[in-house]
């Protein structure tokens, strides 16, 4: 049975229980969690609202509704609900972790770290806290602390079943130019999730940087097989073609990426360099002007990340 089918069956069974006990606030929390797991956002929100109306002192209900708002990218209401959840129960580690995630999404990184620190203190064996804090440190550019937290997450759960910790640690290693460790982590991530297009895309870019062009193209092609028409992957394949010197193919990939996302500055800049190398100075300058208008530091980024200038 698919996960969707499993959720539907569990929701159906719990709904029958609710029919017999319609004023049980905890049952709505439980069903709200199932709806949220099944991405039935409106139904989840309705259940959490119902639970809160029955029991306004339920930390779990406020935390669940906060998670729902988090999935809706409504960070203001999510933070309000997490505030109430931890006020009602200061030991709610998941609420602190979730509020930290909301703060990281609003780029309030110091507040995010403070919340995740609290979550880890309350629940030290939880690997999610270390992964979340590592990601926030990475966003702040503190790759050493990010790696330390990824190391701890992997130490606590060396067989996590998902690629997240290994993939993110690989990106942190790549940022430090520790390419051997980055490659090893990408390999481990793909062992866990062979069809993870994001990991394949990231390894494609690393292989392109290292001059492993055919392997890079293999990764990008496989990523596109899994997620056809993904602009970021087309852009990555454009990088691999450009660094290989296959200028026509690079321009084709950048064209395709820009048809999907016309404001992708890195694709505009990459296409500009390809056009320049083909002798199309006018077309190259036009693309560079558009890229810089969208992202003023795009030239520095392309030079630093891929050696393209």
Angle at 33 between CA 32 and CA 34, to 5 degrees: 90
Question: CA separation (Å) from 29 to 13, 43, 49, 51, 128?
Answer: 14, 11, 9, 6, 22
Q: What is the pLDDT of residues 64-96, one digit of tens each?
A: 999 999 999 999 999 999 999 999 999 999 999
More confident position, 176 or 48: 48
pLDDT of 47 reads: 96
**Own/partner pairs, 297-306, CB within 8 angstroms, 24+ separation:** 298/265, 298/266, 298/268, 298/269, 299/269, 301/266, 302/266, 302/269, 302/270, 302/273, 305/205, 305/209, 306/205, 306/208, 306/209, 306/239, 306/243
- Mean pLDDT for the stretch of residues 150-166: 81
pLDDT at 154: 85
Do residues 205 and 216 touch, judged by C-beta distance below 8 A? yes
Angle at 27 between CA 24 and CA 28, to 5 degrees: 95
The span from the CA of 308 to the CA of 303, in Å, is: 5
Whether 309 shows a pLDDT value over 90: the answer reads: no
Which residue, among 33, 37, 15, has the nearest Cα to 24 in the 3D structure? 15
Report the C-alpha gap between 175 and 271 in whole angstroms.
24
What is the structure's pLDDT at 203? 97
Average pLDDT of the chain? 93
Question: 233: which 2 tokens?
Answer: 């992957």
What per-residue confidence (pLDDT) applies to 143?
A: 85
Considering only 101-115, 160-174, 242-256, which range has the smallest mean pLDDT? 160-174
Q: Once rounded to an integer, what is the mean pLDDT over residues 202-214?
A: 96
- Residue 1 — very low, low, confident or very high, per pLDDT cuts 50/70/90? very low
pLDDT tier for residue 60 given thresholds of 50, 70 and 90: very high
Specify whether the CB–CB gap between 229 and 260 falls below 8 A. yes
User: What would the pLDDT profile of 175-206 be if each residue is shown by its tens digit?
Assistant: 888 999 999 999 999 998 999 999 999 999 99
* Residues of the chain above pLDDT 90, percent: 81
Neighbouring residues of 257: CB distance < 8 A, sequence distance ≥ 6:
231, 232, 234, 235, 238, 264, 267
């Amino acid at each position: 049975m698919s996960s969707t089918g499993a959720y539907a069956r569990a929701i159906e069974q719990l709904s029958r229980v609710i029919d017999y006990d319609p004023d049980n606030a905890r049952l709505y929390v439980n069903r709200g969690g199932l709806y949220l797991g099944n991405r039935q956002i409106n139904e989840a929100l309705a259940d959490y609202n119902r639970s809160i109306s029955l029991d306004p002192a339920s930390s779990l209900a406020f935390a669940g509704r906060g998670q729902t708002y988090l999935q809706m990218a409504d960070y203001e209401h999510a933070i309000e609900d997490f505030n109430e959840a931890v006020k009602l129960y200061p030991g709610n580690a998941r609420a602190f972790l979730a509020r930290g995630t909301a703060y990281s999404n609003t780029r309030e990184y110091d507040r995010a770290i403070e919340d995740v620190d609290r979550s880890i203190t309350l629940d030290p064996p939880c690997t999610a806290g270390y992964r979340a804090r590592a990601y926030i440190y990475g966003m702040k550019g503190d790759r050493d602390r990010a790696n330390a937290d990824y190391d701890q997450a992997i130490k606590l759960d060396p067989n996590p079943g998902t690629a997240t910790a290994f993939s993110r640690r690989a990106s942190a290693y790549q940022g430090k130019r520790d390419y051997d460790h980055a490659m090893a982590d990408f390999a481990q991530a793909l062992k866990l999730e062979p069809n993870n297009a994001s990991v394949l895309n990231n390894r494609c870019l690393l292989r392109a940087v290292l001059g492993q062009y055919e392997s890079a193209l293999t990764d990008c092609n496989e990523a596109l097989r899994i997620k056809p028409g993904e602009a970021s992957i087309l852009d990555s394949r454009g990088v691999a073609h450009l660094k290989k010197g296959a200028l026509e193919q690079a321009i084709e990939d950048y064209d395709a990426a820009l048809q999907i996302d016309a404001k992708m500055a890195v694709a505009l800049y990459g296409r500009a360099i390809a056009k320049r190398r083909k002798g199309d100075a006018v077309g190259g300058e036009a693309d560079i002007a558009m890229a810089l208008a969208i992202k003023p530091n795009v030239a520095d980024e392309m030079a630093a990340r891929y050696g393209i200038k």
